[in-house]
Amino acid sequence: MVVTLLGTGTSSGVPLIGCSCEVCRSLDYRDKRLRVSVHILIEEKSFVIDTGPDFRQHMLREGINQLDAVLFTHQHKDHTAGLDDVRAFNFLQQRDMPVYGRAQVLEQLQREFEYAFAEFRYPGIPRLRLHEIHNEPFSIEGVEFVPIDVLHHKLPVFGFRVGDFAYLTDVNHIPESEYAKLQNLDTLVLGALQHEPHISHFNLREALEVVELLKPQRAYFTHISHKMGRHSLVEPTLPSHVKLGYDGLKLYI
């Protein structure tokens, strides 16, 4: 399995519009963070989790020319806004794009992209085939995904486990009932927004506590704000098996 961190930034991205802090002015490529998303290549199948506003840029930068399905963690705009651009894969692959999400996510997609679901559809719009998922394992093209039901403040969000890899972004609470799904991981990618406490995201200390509890062989943090600080200064303070993710990082699992 090859996992690519397509974007590792928070909803505003880094640099933030109008900000002149040292992170936003940094020339380190690791401090340039597009909106959060991940690509999974496994058994010659290609999956993307979340299509934020930078989806097109993600696909072009990584040269991704095949996409077998899109999965959504939740319905916030920084995770869904780029869905229209899957139409490029409709043209390339000559088929509808399978889209997986919980009922509330699919309902919101049908409102926000109403033109894609209209009875009389304009030629060239995205062709989407919706699949409702629940908190139970499901398979796409022979690859099993295990949803992890977590909370983003009061909003239910799905993380996903594939093999020995798990991805949890936009989370500030993991119910104990979900811990068993997160045991014996090779790699955990986990949201860690900033140093200060936040109402709907783990901060750095809380994310480190989750890593200590779950004990994956290695962990990478994502959904990172400019308030976290410069990559080059923060990463050396972390345990040796924990790193800050950055855009374009490839993980071989």
Q: What is the pLDDT of residues 24-54, one digit of tens each?
A: 999 999 999 999 999 999 999 999 999 999 9
Token duo for residue 145: 């995904």
Find the mean pLDDT for residues 194-220.
Answer: 98
Instruction: Write the pLDDT tens digit of every residue in 216-253.
Output: 999 999 999 999 999 999 999 999 999 999 999 999 99
Whole-angstrom Cα distance, residue 60 to residue 65? 9
pLDDT in tens, 55-98: 999 999 999 999 999 999 999 999 999 999 999 999 999 999 99
* 3-state secondary structure string across 50-100: CCCCCHHHHHHHHCCCCCCEEECCCCCHHHHCCHHHHHHHHHHHCCCEEEE
pLDDT of res. 121: 80
pLDDT recorded at residue 122 = 82
Q: What is the pLDDT of residues 133-165, one digit of tens each?
A: 999 999 999 999 999 999 999 999 999 999 999
pLDDT at 123: 83
Q: What is the pTM of this model?
A: 0.97
Measured CA to CA, the distance from residue 8 to residue 246 in angstroms comes to: 6
